[in-house]
């Protein structure tokens, strides 16, 4: 999609064709336009891994506060 935008396609047409908003396309352009395809894929993979690690940390912190059975104060 970004290649189409670089080739001169109108943002509104791209958004409609791909089912995303124009704002999304502008955000993707600013984030990915200077990256090679392999770099963009690596960035996406790292972002997914980071999100997974954040969820694991949040779950561990929640377990620490509530206990493994989800009840506040159990085990203290």
Q: pTM to 2 decimals?
A: 0.54
What are the distances in angstroms from CA 3 to CA 25, 29, 58, 72?
A: 12, 10, 37, 52
* Beta strands per DSSP E along the chain: none
Q: Which residues contact 5 (CB under 8 A, 6 or more apart)?
A: 11, 14, 25, 29
Measured at the CA of 13, the angle between CA 10 and CA 17, to 5 degrees, comes to 140
pLDDT in tens, 23-68: 998 888 888 878 888 898 899 999 999 999 999 999 999 988 887 6
Q: What ranges do the domains of the chain cover?
A: 2-50
């Amino acid at each position: 999609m970004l290649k189409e935008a670089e080739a001169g396609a109108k943002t509104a047409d791209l958004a409609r064709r791909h089912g995303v908003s124009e704002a999304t396309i502008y955000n993707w352009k600013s984030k990915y336009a200077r990256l090679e395809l392999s770099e963009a894929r690596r960035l996406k993979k790292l972002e997914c891994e980071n999100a997974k690690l954040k969820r694991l940390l949040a779950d561990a912190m929640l377990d620490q506060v509530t206990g493994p059975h989800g009840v506040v104060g159990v085990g203290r």
